[in-house]
Chain A
Amino acid sequence: MKNPEEIYELLKKEFNETIFGLDKDTPVENIISVDPMNIHKIGAFLKDNEELKFDSLMVLSGVDDANGTKVKDEDGTEVITGGTLSVYYHLHSTVLKHKITIKTSAPRENPEVESVYDVWRTSDWHEREAFDMFGIIFKNHPDLTRILMPYDWDAGYPLRKDYKNPEFYQGMKVPY
């Protein structure tokens, strides 16, 4: 069993500049921020290292940080440019009984994050969901298609803060 500082030190020693920081001011597990284009090997290390053994990805979720510049459209809706979209990985070691949260942020205009599909198979559908809801592109995912919305949905990514619902989908009126 390792505490978050020890986990952070282990990662820092192995990956150095691709580990950005440790956020200890959290209500539950502490959050380690890492680089989105190195998350695959960081994940493999977290899983295979003898002292860490994070064998379970409990959940992977996307987040719209909405920290870009917000501009109001003429019809009153907000459009966000710049800022980041984030992915959170909630990890648990069933062997060593410790937990940690990994966070990685990618720019909103080109939200590319490495897939951890072949580290934790759990991430397969979770990454598809994050792609479906936020438009985060997971590099090297074997089948990155929409999982909840219809395959031909072209109105954007519904959980983004500046999402606008379409008037019609396949001839059906969408608003109330």
Chain B
Amino acid sequence: MGLLDKEFSDGNIVIARAEDLMNWARLSSIWQLGFGLACCAIEMMATSASHYDFDRFGVIPRNTPRQADAIIISGTVTLKMATRIKRLYEQMPDPKYIISMGSCANCGGPYWEHGYHVLKGIDRVIPVDVYVPGCPPRPEALLEGLLKLQDKIRNESIRKKIA
């Protein structure tokens, strides 16, 4: 990233590209919408708790979409819930990111054939940045997904949203 490689002699000044600085700030404080759906949400909560500690990556749950940067779709999305998720997503300010967690959110999971009430993948409703496979994914997998999202944000450009 090159934040610290051009240090001045007095040590208090660091120069960097504005883009890098913004991306660094953004990826280091991804506030997620406090939102869980099914068994994946249990793993997500475990990831937030002290063993895996989501907070060390700057991820804390916010209880309003208006202050959230990311939403983790953690579980089975029913058709009824999909309309609500879409509204929550639309209430989030840009830039906003979506992690689709687990098979259900990715593609319908075990409900793909006979789930008359299940949306077969959250990407039919809102654009997904990172897909985390698993049923449910272990906390390590979710952390990996978060790191992938951070990589994506790190390479973002001010001119154009790519993540």
| Chain A residues with a Cβ under 8 A of chain B | 148-150, 158, 163, 165, 169-170, 172-176
**8 Å CB contact of A172 from B107, B113, B116, B124:** B124
Q: Is the CB of A176 within 8 A of B119?
A: no
Contact flags B62-102 to A (C-beta < 8 A → 1, else 0): 00000000000000000110110000000000000000000
CB distance from A163 to the nearest CB of B (A): 7
Complexed CA–CA distance, A175 and B114 (Å): 9
A163 lies within 8 A of B116 (CB): yes
Residue of A nearest to B117 (CB): A149
Q: Which 8 A-B pairs have the closest CB atoms?
A: A150-B80, A158-B116, A176-B112, A176-B120, A165-B116, A169-B79, A172-B124, A172-B82
Digit string of B108-127 for contact with A (CB within 8 Å is 1, else 0)?
10001100110110001100
B113 and A176 form a contact (CB under 8 A) = yes
Chain B residues at the A interface, C-beta cutoff of 8 Å: 79-80, 82-83, 107-108, 112-113, 116-117, 119-120, 124-125
> B80–A175 contact, CB under 8 A?
no
Dominant SS at the A interface?
Answer: loop
In the assembled complex, how far is the CB of residue B40 from the closest CB belonging to chain A, in whole angstroms? Answer: 20
Q: Is the CB of A148 within 8 A of B117?
A: yes
- Whether B125 pairs with A172 at a CB distance below 8 angstroms is yes
Give the secondary structure class of B's interface.
loop
Residues of B within 8 A of A165 (CB): 116
Contacts of B117 in A (CB 8 A): 148-149, 158
From B120, which residue of chain A is reached at the shortest CB distance?
A: A176
Contact B108 A176 (CB under 8 A): yes
Compute how far the CA of A149 lies from the CA of B83 in the bound complex, rounded to whole angstroms.
12
Q: How far is the CB of A90 from chain B (nearest CB, A)?
A: 25
Cα A172 to Cα B116 in complex, Å, equals: 13
- The CA of A176 and the CA of B108, in the complex, are separated in Å by 8
Q: How far is the CA of A126 from the CA of B4 in the complex (A)?
A: 64
Q: A173-B124, A175-B120, A176-B107 are in contact. List 9 more A-B contacts (CB 8 A).
A: A148-B117, A149-B80, A150-B79, A165-B116, A170-B83, A172-B119, A174-B119, A176-B108, A176-B120
A163–B114 CA distance with the chains assembled, in angstroms: 11
Task: Evaluate whether A172 and B112 lie within 8 angstroms (CB atoms) in the complex, with A148-B117, A149-B117 already known.
Answer: no
CB neighbours (8 Å) of B120 from chain A are 173-176
Q: Tell me the minimal C-beta distance from B94 to chain A in angstroms.
A: 23
Interchain CA distance A42-B77 in the complex, whole Å: 41
